Structure formats: C-alpha cells, structure tokens
Amino acid sequence: MIALRPAYLIPVVGFLLLAAIFARNLYIVGIEGRQASDLPSVLVDKPAPQFSLPPISGDGKGFTRADLGGEPSLVNVWASWCPPCRIEHPVLMQLARQGVTIWGINYKDKAADAQAFLDELGDPFKAIGADRTGRTAIDWGVYGYPETFVVDAEGRVRYRHVGPIRSEDLKNKIMPLLRKLAK
Amino acid sequence: MIAEAGQFALMLALAIALVQGSLPLIGAQTGRAGWMALGPACARAQFVFVAGAFGCLIYAFVVSDFTVSNVAENSHTLKPMLYKVTGAWGSHEGSMVLWVAILALFGLAVASFGDNLPPALRARVLAIQGMIGAAFLAFILFTSNPFIRLDPAPLEGRGLNPILQDPGLAFHPPFLYLGYVGFSMAFSFAIAALIEGRVDAAWARWVRPWTLVAWCSLTIGIAMGSWWAYYELGWGGWWFWDPVENASFIPWLIGTALLHSAIVVEKRDALKSWTVLLAILTFSTSLLGTFLVRSGVLTSVHSFASDPERGTYILVLLVIVTGGSLTLYAIRAPALKGGGLFAPISREGALVLNNLLLTTAAAVVTLGTLYPLALDAFGGGKVSVGAPFFNATFVPLMIPVLIAACGGGMLGWKRGDLAGALSRVRAAVGIAVLVALTVGWFAGERKMFGAVGLAITAWLIVGSAVELAERIRLFRIPLGASLRRAIGLPRAAWGMVIAHSALGIMVAGITATSAWQTEKIQMMKPGDSVEVAGYTLRFDSVDAFKGPNYAGQRARFTVFKDDQVVTVLMPEKRRYPAENNTTTEAGILWTPLGDLYAVLGDRAGAEGWTTRFYFNPLVAWIWFGAALMALGGLISLTDRRHRVGAPKRAAKAAAAPAGAAKAGA
C-alpha cells in the first residue's frame, strides 16, 4: 500500500505552480509573438505620471514631468549597479548621436557610482533625475532594469520596453515609432 | 564531412542513451543480470560517441569551417587559437554539446569506478543518467543542432562576443557544467534509492564523493565567473546578483546543504528523505538555471540568443525531470524512515540548522530572481528586485550559517554538550569579540558591518584551528603523539577544517572590500598625478596599439609608494571590429592587502581623459578563499572512507529489508 503523506506533496505542488508560471511567460514570449521585453504597460497611451526629480549631484537641473512633451522622446530608467544597463549603454549613446532626445531616471543609485558610470561610458541623456527612493519608478510601473518608455509630443506614454534595447528592437519597434510620432 | 560525422555520432549517442535509459532499469526491476550489465556498456559507448561529436565540433572551430553555421556565427579566422577552441562552447548549441559530453563523462566514471556498487543500484543509476542524456541529446538534435551547414558559406565568421574572449571566462563554463551535471549523479542515486526504497549509510557514502566533485567544480566555476566580472567589466564589483549568476548560486547553496546532510545519513542513519529531496532539488535547480538562461523568460547579460521553442522544450523537460522525481518522492519518501534520533543540541542538530538556513537562503535567492515573473503572473503590481534586495535579505541569513559552521563540529553526535563545546571554543569566541571591538573602535566608516564580518572571519579561522587542536589533543599529549594523530586524522576532517577556514578568508575579503573600498574618479591629462589609498599614480601616456583581432588604446600609469616606483599599470580599451564591440581591460596591481585598480574612460576633448581608480582592500581573498574551499573539498574527496569503506552495505542490510518490504508492498 502506498502511504501518501501530505507534507511530502509540498515540493511537487510548489514546483508545478512554478512551472505553470514559466509556461505562462513562455506563452507570452512565444505564441503571442511578443517579446518578454515589451510587456504591455497600463500607462500606454496615457499621460506620463507626475514627478519631479533632483539631479544626481550638485544643484543643476533635475528631470521633471514638465520636461516631457513638445517633441517625441525616450525615458530610460537605469542604474549603475545593473549589468544589462552597461550592455545597453552604447545603444543609447548611438541614439543620442542621431539626435534622439533621451531623458534618464537614475534608479536607487549612489551619486558617485552613477557619475562614474556616465564618465566611463558617456552621457546620452538630455537631463537625468535621481530617483533615490524608487517612488517615481513605481509610478511609471517599472518592472526591471533597464527600462525605456517612448513618450510623444503630448507627453503621453506610447511604448514601453523592458530590458536592454537591442539593435533589432531599435530597427523594428523604437525607430519606426519615433519616426511616426515625429510626423 | 567532419560536421556530418559529428551529427551522426550525436544520433548514435541518442540511440544508445535510449537503450541505456530503459533496458538496465527493466533488468534491475526483473532481476535480469544480462540487461543490467548493458548499463555500463552503454555508458562507455555513449561517452565514445558524445566525445567524438564534441571533438568534431572543436575541429570545425579550429579550422574555421564556415560552412558550419554555428562556426560562422561564433568564430573568426583572426581569433587566437585558444578562443577558437573555447568558442566551441561559447554559443548555446556548443554549450549543450559540452553539457552532454560532461554527462557522458560521469556515466563513464560510474561504469569504470562503480565496481563496488551493487549491480542493481548501478544499473538504475546509469539508466537515470541515460534518460537525462537522451533528453538532452534530443534537445540538441531537434532544436539546437551545432552541425547545421550553411550555403553559401561566408568568407569570414562573425566572431565571438569579445567579452567572452578571456582566459578566465574560457574555462568558466566547463567548470560550471562539471558542477551542474555532476549534481545529476546525486540525483540519479536519489531516484534509484526511491525506486529501491532504501537509503542507508552505504548509499550516502556513494553519493558523497560525486556530490563533492560537483560541488568543488561549481565552486571553482562560480569563483572564476566572479573573478572575470571583477577584472573584465571594469567597475570593481565582483558579484552583481544577476539572474544568471543567481542561477548558478542556487544549486551551489542547495548542493552545500546536501553535502552536509549526507554526512548525517552516513553517520547517523537519519535525515534520509530530506537528503533525497536535496539531491533532487540540487539537480533541478541546475536545470532551472539552464532554462532561465536559454528561454528568454528573464533578461540578463548572460542570455544566450534565446528562443521560445527551446524554452518550451526545456520547460517540458524540467516538468518531466523535476515534476516526475518530486512525485516519485511524494509517493516513496514516507517509507524512508530514519533510525537515528537526536536531541536539538547535537552535531546532527547543528547540521540541520545549517541545512535549514542554506535552503532558506537558496529560497530567498530564487524568490528574488523569479519574483518579478511570479508577481506579474498573479496580476500583482510590478516590482523591482536588484542588489539592494539581496543585500538586505541574503546577508543576514548567512551570518548564523557562518557562526554555526564552527562549533557544530564540537558538539557530539546524538546529544551534544553545549556548555562543554562553548568552553572549548572560548578562545575563538574571545578573539572574535576582540576583533569586533578593535574594528568597531578604529574603523572610520561602516563600523558595524566591518566589525561583524571580521569577527566572523576570526571565529571561523580560530574556531577551525581549535577544532583541529582538539582532535589531535594538541598540548595535552606529547607533541609527537599529536603529530601522529594529525597524520592519522581522516582526510574528511582536514577537508572540513580547510574549507571552513577558507570560508573565513572569503568573508574577510567580502567584508573589507564592501566596507572600505576607495574610489577616485577624475579627468586627467598626461603628466597629472592622483593619490589613491597611499599610492600615487602618474598618468604618463595613452598609446594606440593593435592586437590579433582588435585595436585598442593603452594608458600608462606609473605607481609610486613612498617615492619608490612600485609598478606600471596599463589599463586598456579595446575595440573588436568583427564583432563591433568594445571592452575595458582594467589595470590591476594585486597585493595581499588589497588591489589598486585603474580604468581608462573616454577622452573628453581638451580636458583629457576620464580615469577611475579603486583600492579594493583584501579583495583577492575572496577568490583565494573560494579556491581554498574547493581544495578542502578535494582533500575530503581523497578520504579513504570513500574508497575502501564503500562496499559495506551487507553489514547494514539487516535493517534494510523491513523498509524495502514496506515500500515494495
């Protein structure tokens, strides 16, 4: 006779729950034909949230809600402690050279670390706001780092990209959208 | 021709693995010796074919055969020979071939060294190994074939990601896989034991060496990865809590727990079903790591070109392997009742505490890695988890683990004498408190953190020494007699003392570098000098140079201490045209007390260059400690118990039939 004891079922039940979550995520990645990196945001087509962030260090100008609008732009959430942000950075530098306006939200970072990151890899941002408490990132619904939002001339969020921007993301999604918004 | 031979070898290996995965198991169930004997024969044949296929792949890389699509995408004629060879496992497809090659190597080891195993157990273990092999070979052949041809073939390959072109990283995957795949041995033994319905001291004695081999390799693999990140990524950090780093760390934590709980099974005949569960979980988390890296479910620096189809396959595999084995566990494990009872304060108790904390730590790391996914799936808000989360949760959990690491060994089996143990380690306690007070008094910043960390270091090192002294009765009996006892001490005891002290060394490195790193960032022009942690660095020049497959700029910083020239640091920035990528090579002066770390940044017009310097106190101790820890494991592996004592199952067999009969009924 098999003596089933409930406690011994915990591992397998726990695992199956985890597997179901994976399956759901794979489904999102695969069958629906979208990448895990473009998770839909509840903010899409809504105005960007209100915020006002100080600069990373010193007195200069930070980054506030009022800066957005007037022209299409990107808002990039990054941190010096986030390795994928380093991978992404050259792409941002290239975009900035092409004349795309990029705003930065520096998430839960130390001023010196953030500055070092920019000094080493270059500064593609028109302005950067330091989100030391992570409050603004919550308002934007940030999921992982780095994360990039496309904001149109009216200050509405039009697209959200989770994870580093790769060249195919630029080619297929971000650049066509920016071109469309610029018209 | 060679590529086709490789592919054919993989197909044959799959066919052999299917036989290995079925017939020996049926033979073991029905008691047919001939069928059981197929296990070792298949394992040997499988090794020959998989190793042959791996050899073909390496050959295709060495001769830059760009008609093979995998070679064209990951190699380049100008790449140095070392990286042509290591490029064979630099891609997803190649790394999977390396994975099965290592699996086949372990199968060969069981076939060759497993003569002292009961034939039925050996047949079952090899059958489980065969099933795992078959699943992965099918995965390679159907979704990730490295031998697919390309027509027309390009004249030149696309090159390997330059960040991977580094000696440290070239050998990081083989060690990591030796660890991951090595845990499949413990897994196979666990499943075989569940099928047999028997776990005893002899079983634990067979499992422990395999687990030790895997654990040592994984320790070295992770340490190499961390060391590489330190000198290559160029920002002075050594661990980033990246999902893929975590994926290797979770099996390490559970494997460490397994290593310790197997001791209790061996010595005290207790914690059986728990040990079996750990063996299943260790390998399952290794597979989970494979899944996370390759499925595109999580974003990470390490992500291979991910592909949902592969992700689906690995997920199905994961469900069959982990889901199946945990179901088997749920059905059969209640029958594995252990005999040894013990009081909470005892050596078993200390090992249980170690297990609980290590598995909790593994659960925390898993949670932190998967939380964004899980919360999203349940429709919860979006949250972020980064280094701050892990520092806040993982570090406090590790403090009791480290404290329990020493002193646990002072307690007796079954029922320990806490007061007696404490009085024996009073020297270690005293020194730890002294260290804490001294650090607290003198340290300028991060006093608490530094004091706790270094006190733990003192506790671990002095405590291990005291434990050793106790065992050889140092100063209580004549020195010569102590020395003889030291020589006669089991290697496993030496291994433990070394590994636990090594842990202390590692903690010192982690503490010092986290608490007291100095950082200087400034613009410099040639001729400028800067002072960092007592060193003066003079910026001499920046020169362009050319490497085999890259061009770069190399800065020269002459380092002075007390007006004496110490060394010249030459940090580089390299640009790889084939891959269109740049890398940073830090210039590092390694000293036992800390290292001076120089990075050359971008040129900013007339103002000069951005330069960054760090002084990382004791940082090299982290990797030295990790290496020493692996050495401790290896010394423990040479314990004669693992060789001579193993085939002693008969002596214990008297107790076994009862359990076996109950399970089989």
- Residue A32 has what pLDDT? 43
Could you give the 3-state DSSP secondary structure of residue B526? coil
pLDDT at B198 over 90: no
pLDDT at B125 over 50: yes
Measure B377 CA to nearest chain A CA, in Å.
6
> Can you say how many angstroms the Cα of residue B179 is from the centroid of all Cα atoms in its chain?
6
Is the Cβ pair B323, A145 closer than 8 Å? no
pLDDT one-digit tens code per residue, B623-663: 999 999 999 999 999 887 766 444 444 444 434 333 333 33
Give the mean model confidence (pLDDT) for residues A16-23. Answer: 82
How sure is the predictor about B80, in pLDDT bands with cuts at 50, 70 and 90? confident
Query: ipTM of this model?
Result: 0.72
Let me know how long chain A is: 183
Give the mean model confidence (pLDDT) for residues B279-304. Answer: 71
Within a domain: A20: no
Within a domain: B440: no
| Final residue of a structural domain among B142, B160, B178 | B160
Residue with the bigger pLDDT between B524 and B299: it is B524
Name every chain B residue with its beta carbon within 8 A of the beta carbon of A42: none
- Residue B54 has what pLDDT? 96
Residue with the bigger pLDDT between B18 and B350: it is B18
- Verify that B259 and B233 share a domain, yes or no: yes
Domain with A100 in it: what CATH number?
3.40.30.10
Within a domain: A21: no
How sure is the predictor about B374, in pLDDT bands with cuts at 50, 70 and 90? low
Under the phi-then-psi rule, with left for phi > 0, alpha for psi from -120 to 50, and beta for the rest, what region is B234? left
Q: Which of residues 99-118 of A touch B (CB under 8 A)?
A: 107-108, 112, 115-117
Q: Which of residues 227-256 of B touch A (CB under 8 A)?
A: 233-235, 237, 240, 242
Using alpha carbons, list the distances in angstroms from residue B284 to A139, A147, B277, B323.
37, 31, 10, 9
Within a domain: B636: no
Give the mean model confidence (pLDDT) for residues B108-119. Answer: 88
Give the mean model confidence (pLDDT) for residues B524-548. Answer: 90
How sure is the predictor about B385, in pLDDT bands with cuts at 50, 70 and 90? low
A75 close to B (CB below 8 A): no
Q: Which helix (H) or strand (E) holds B16?
A: helix B2-30
Which range marks the domain in which residue A56 is found?
37-182
How sure is the predictor about A39, in pLDDT bands with cuts at 50, 70 and 90? low
Within a domain: A30: no
Give the mean model confidence (pLDDT) for residues B468-482. Answer: 85
To the nearest whole percent, how much of chain B has pLDDT over 90?
A: 41
- Verify that B208 and B90 share a domain, yes or no: no
Mutate to test the interface with A, among B301, B310, B325 (most CBs of A within 10 A): B301
Is the Cβ pair A117, B235 closer than 8 Å? yes
B322 close to A (CB below 8 A): yes
pTM > 0.95 = no
- Residue B102 has what pLDDT? 95
Q: Angle of helix A10-29 relative to helix B308-318, nearest 10 degrees?
A: 170
- Verify that B176 and B83 share a domain, yes or no: no
pLDDT at B131 over 50: yes
- Verify that B195 and B154 share a domain, yes or no: no
Is the Cβ pair A19, B298 closer than 8 Å? no
Q: Which of residues 50-69 of A touch B (CB under 8 A)?
A: none
Within a domain: B417: no
- Verify that B127 and B176 share a domain, yes or no: no
Within a domain: A4: no
For chain A, give the secondary structure using H, E and C: CCCCCHHHHHHHHHHHHHHHHHHHHHHHHCCCCCCHHHCCCCCCCCECCCCEECCCCCCCCCEEHHHCCCCCEEEEEECCCCHHHHHHHHHHHHHHHCCCCEEEEEECCCHHHHHHHHHHHCCCCCEEEEECCCHHHHHHCCCCCCEEEEECCCCEEEEEEECCCCHHHHHHHHHHHHHHHHC
- Verify that B546 and B586 share a domain, yes or no: yes
- Residue B664 has what pLDDT? 33
Within a domain: A52: yes
pLDDT at B175 over 90: yes
Q: Which of A5-19, B133-147, B421-435, B444-458 has the highest mean pLDDT?
A: B133-147
Within a domain: B96: yes
CA–CA distance, B124 with B187 (Å, rounded to integer): 12
For A122, the closest chain B residue by CA position comes to: B602
pLDDT one-digit tens code per residue, A67-104: 888 888 999 999 887 777 888 888 899 888 888 899 99
For chain B, the average pLDDT equals: 85
For B161, the closest chain A residue by CA position comes to: A87
Within a domain: A31: no
Which range marks the domain in which residue B51 is found?
1-160
CB pairs under 8 A between A and B: 146
Q: Which of B393-402, B470-479, B497-506 has the highest mean pLDDT?
A: B497-506
- Verify that B6 and B94 share a domain, yes or no: yes
**Cross-chain CB nearest to B386 (options A26, A31, A82):** A82
- Among B400-409, B530-539, B550-559, name the one with the lowest average pLDDT: B400-409
pLDDT at A57 over 60: yes
- Verify that B245 and B111 share a domain, yes or no: no
CA–CA distance, A150 with A160 (Å, rounded to integer): 6
pLDDT at B188 over 90: yes
Measure B385 CA to nearest chain A CA, in Å.
8
**Cross-chain CB nearest to B277 (options A11, A79, A80):** A11
- Residue A38 has what pLDDT? 46
B298 close to A (CB below 8 A): yes
Is the Cβ pair A25, B323 closer than 8 Å? no
For chain A, the average pLDDT equals: 81
CB contact set of A33 (below 8 Å; sequence gap of 6+): none
pLDDT at B45 over 50: yes
- Verify that B373 and B275 share a domain, yes or no: yes
For A27, the closest chain B residue by CA position comes to: B308
- Among B42-46, B121-125, B234-238, name the one with the lowest average pLDDT: B234-238
- Residue B302 has what pLDDT? 46
Give chain A's domain count: 1
- Among A27-31, B45-49, B279-283, B500-504, name the one with the lowest average pLDDT: A27-31
pLDDT at B373 over 80: no
Within a domain: A147: yes
Within a domain: B175: yes
| Final residue of a structural domain among B160, B194, B226 | B160
The first and second tokens of residue A168, run together, are: 């195919």
Residue B270 and residue B204 in contact, taking contact as beta carbons nearer than 8 Å: no
- Verify that B266 and B394 share a domain, yes or no: yes
Measure B328 CA to nearest chain A CA, in Å.
9
For B389, the closest chain A residue by CA position comes to: A108
Give the mean model confidence (pLDDT) for residues A128-156. Answer: 83
For B388, the closest chain A residue by CA position comes to: A108
- Residue B308 has what pLDDT? 62
**Cross-chain CB nearest to A15 (options B323, B382, B386):** B323
A25 close to B (CB below 8 A): yes
Within a domain: B460: no
Give the mean model confidence (pLDDT) for residues B9-33. Answer: 94
- Residue B89 has what pLDDT? 87
B27: closest CA among B125, B174, B142, B106?
A: B125
B131: closest CA among B242, B48, B274, B21?
A: B21
Give the mean model confidence (pLDDT) for residues B304-328. Answer: 80
CA–CA distance, B347 with B14 (Å, rounded to integer): 46
Residue with the bigger pLDDT between B72 and B43: it is B43
Under the phi-then-psi rule, with left for phi > 0, alpha for psi from -120 to 50, and beta for the rest, what region is B551? beta
Exposed e or buried b per residue across B361-390, where buried means at least 16 C-beta atoms within 10 angstroms of its C-beta: bbebbbebbbebbebbbeeeebbbbbbebb
Give chain B's domain count: 3
| Final residue of a structural domain among B118, B134, B160 | B160
> Can you say how many angstroms the Cα of residue B582 is from the centroid of all Cα atoms in its chain?
28
Could you give the 3-state DSSP secondary structure of residue B444? coil
Within a domain: A19: no
Residue A116 and residue A80 in contact, taking contact as beta carbons nearer than 8 Å: yes
